[in-house]
A = this chain, B = another copy of it.
Amino acid sequence: MDLNLQKYFQAAVSVDNVVFGFDETGLNVLLIYRGADPYRNCWALPGDLISLDTNLDTSAVTVLQNLTGLQHLYMDQIRTFGRVDRHPYGRVFTVAYFALIKIEDYRVSAQSWAEEAAWFPIHDVPDLPFDHNEILEFAKEQLKMKIRKQPIGFELLPKHFTLSELQRLYEAILDEEFDVRNFRKKILSMDFIADTGLKQNAVTHRPAKLYKYNARKYNKLITSGFDFDL
């Protein structure tokens, strides 16, 4: 390589994944316990330097799977962080990705140099190394924006869900309360959310109707200029 170019080709790139998971306790984020330097023995976002023969988006998926066993997630790029001194080993740019999953549908298992992998309640996250706290804050903002504009919320609930569950989900993520009647009115006015005819059972109170999300209908609406907006 040209000597003039040499000096540019000395950077590393990492990905850091912010995986949000939802369960009955609310919104959580997945962290790993680092078993490798730098910042060995810290909880951190599951991220790693990426191999230079792999496309960026593919790397995000690979890194996550390699550290936590999670696979088949849809990951979205959110932003690149590139402060000069963000990594002690040299110039490392990190590309942050985020994903949103239903915790009970996946099993996380620490792998590679990750000693543990665990879910932390979103309001109870420890100090993280690098600029991971900053990344997490940014991801939370993105999540709020996205969940208002895209029907990703449904992917966090069981296939059949009650409107109360849905409302709790939105309230947890947006950190905001909605009027029960108005919320239901709005949701039911979107005709890609359908009554299954089923009801909850084994609950100690009036059982709620179960609904399901119809992605096919949603996609049809989207293409005809519909705008999901909570």
Contact = CB atoms under 8 A, between A and B. Distances in A.
Interface stretch (A26-34, A74-82, A195-203): A74-82
Interface string A12-53: 110000000000000000000000000000000000011111
A55 interface: yes
Given A1-B89, A89-B5, A80 B56 contact: yes
A95 interface: yes
Count copies of this chain in the complex: 2
Interface residues of A, number: 31
Contacts of A189: none
Contact of A56 (B77, B89, B93): B93
A230 to B, nearest CB: 13
Contacts of A8: 12-13, 49-52
Contacts of A59: 82
Given A95-B80, A95-B82, A11 B52 contact: yes
A222 to B, nearest CB: 15
Contacts of A1: 89-90
Interface in A141-192: none
Interface of A: 1, 5, 7-13, 49-57, 59, 77, 79-84, 89-91, 93, 95
